[in-house]
Amino acid sequence: MRLCVPVPCFFGRMDFCDALRRISDLGFDAAETYDWRGLDPDKVRRASGETGVEVLSMCTADFHLTEPERREGWLEGLKRSCDMARKMGVGRLITQVGQDTGAPRDAQHESIVTGLRAAAPILEEAGVTLMIEPLNTYVDHPGYYLWSAVEGAQIVRETGHPLVKLIFDIYHQQVMEGNIIPNITGNLDIIAHLHAAGHPGRHELQMGESDYRVIFAAVDKAGYTGACGLEYNPTMDPTESLKLARQLYGQGASA
């Protein structure tokens, strides 16, 4: 498993390309970001090539899949996001599905599936994978629709397209559902990326109730070959926090 550094969590005030250089100096070869607006795609692609740090993912421009009346706007935003991803050499986009509108859940569920199916031609043309993300509603995202990774997996399977996948955030799911290892290892065919943080607090992985060495060992054993983004708020100097994360959880670390 590759460890991936979300730039905004650790180096949000730094020039993005300089952040990629810092990440490379720390021994990581993968990064991700959220809002791509304001980035120079040519500079990012060049810095990625020079440093060997692959920018794995970033977010879509809009998050409105639960609202059928806003679907066309979401698709237009997806086109812009795919165009930027292609220019930057980014292969995956993360989309949140939107807030719970108060409509029946089966109607919102169907709206998400319909929107994802409508996205397929855009994704095919760009060669980009779209990942939907379940989030916790107890602590960080009250009112969000998709809190369950189990339902997220159902949505992906119902959509039935190889470029529509799930991002499994271990922190969010520890808050909401638990059952982390079975829910990951039972869905490896549709999980394209992982996120992790310690719970409670959303800090370093070792500062919480989840034993990430056990989780990562089980996921590796099950055949996961993707990356895990260290999506937490560091309590120590960001550089020192990443050094320790690599020491504790990097490839080859003892379980």
User: Would you list the domain boundaries of the chain?
Assistant: 2-249
Mean pLDDT, to the nearest integer, of 142-146?
A: 98
Mean pLDDT, to the nearest integer, of 112-123?
A: 98
Alpha-carbon gap, residue 225 to 159, rounded angstroms? 23
Res. 164: pLDDT tops 60: yes
Of the pLDDT bands very low, low, confident and very high (cuts 50, 70, 90), residue 252 is low
Mean pLDDT, the chain, as a whole number? 97
Per-residue confidence (pLDDT) for residue 88, from 0 to 100? 97
Mean pLDDT, to the nearest integer, of 74-81?
A: 98
Res. 202: pLDDT tops 60: yes
Mean pLDDT, to the nearest integer, of 183-191?
A: 98
Per-residue confidence (pLDDT) for residue 186, from 0 to 100? 98
Per-residue confidence (pLDDT) for residue 216, from 0 to 100? 97
CATH topology assigned to domain 2-249: TIM Barrel (3.20.20)
pTM of the model: 0.96
Lowest mean pLDDT among 19-28, 90-99, 193-202, 244-253: 244-253
Of the pLDDT bands very low, low, confident and very high (cuts 50, 70, 90), residue 254 is very low
Res. 255: pLDDT tops 50: no
